Amino acid sequence: MATIEDFKKIEIRAGLITAAERIPESEKLIKLLVSFGAFGVRQILAGIAPHFPEAGMLIGRKCAFAYNLDSRTLMGIVSEGMILATGEAGAFSLLSIDQSVPEGSIIR
């Protein structure tokens, strides 16, 4: 079981999706460019394509992201974080953040 100290190691930040495109070779992956305000822009790959047939519909959404994860390379593309979402029994939702929350804000 994870402790509260384990949970505190993950930095969860508000990020604004500024660009989104499907990865042609993948049925699941979408490449996102995400602004974290003063913390910069990151490229994040997300396995959410089955839920968003048009990647462009993600642009402008503010969501929660795991910010301080080690980078991973998927299909030759570097991913610098992870979008947070929920999905069970056919229901799916990104963890959205109110638009008034500044980009890069820490989520506790």
The share of the chain scoring above pLDDT 90, in percent, equals 92
pTM: 0.94
Query: Once rounded to an integer, what is the mean pLDDT over residues 41-66?
Result: 97
DSSP assignment letter at 96: B
Residue 9 lies in a domain: no
Give the separation between CA 85 and CA 51, rounded to whole angstroms: 11
CB of 44 closer than 8 Å to CB of 35: no
The verdict on residue 71 lying in a domain is: yes
CATH, residue 65: 2.40.50.140
Handedness of CA 46, 103, 80, 32 (dihedral sign): positive
* Residue 41, in any domain of the structure: yes
* Residue 97's pLDDT band (cuts 50, 70, 90): very high
SS3 81: coil
Q: What is the mean pLDDT of residues 37-60?
A: 96
Whether 8 is in a domain gets the answer no
* Within-domain flag for 7: no
Element (H, E) at 43: strand 41-46
Say how many domains are in the chain.
Answer: 1
Structural domain range at position 68? 36-102
